[in-house]
Amino acid sequence: MRLGGQVLPVNWWYNPDKRDYRLRNEQLRSAGNVGDILRIEIADGKAGFDYYVEVIPKGTSLFAQYVALCTQPVRNSEKKWGYLSCY
């Protein structure tokens, strides 16, 4: 995953018991705060990474735009997620 100008090796897997995704990389975890939005965009892989990642801080105008798209609940959590298609 590319965060800013840095490519990070991220262990990304789906937990079927809890029905959520896990992203394991300390730099990625430290890039945001509780309540921020993590925006993930698929890349073509040609530049040595598969996903662009952006932290959208809570309280910003961009946050207000993206939080409106996060309508899908995460089981047993107050977290929500959303999917945006650019096609």
How does DSSP assign 16-31, residue by residue?
A: TTTTEEEEE-HHHHHT
pLDDT per residue as tens, the chain (87 positions):
999 999 999 998 888 887 778 899 999 999 999 999 999 999 999 999 999 999 999 999 999 999 999 998 888 888 888 888 776
- Tokens for 34? 């509780």
Per the CB < 8 A criterion, the answer to whether 8 and 51 are in contact is no
Burial of 69 (0-12, 13-18, 19+ CB in 10 A): middle
pTM above 0.95, yes or no: no
Rg of the chain in Å (alpha carbons): 13
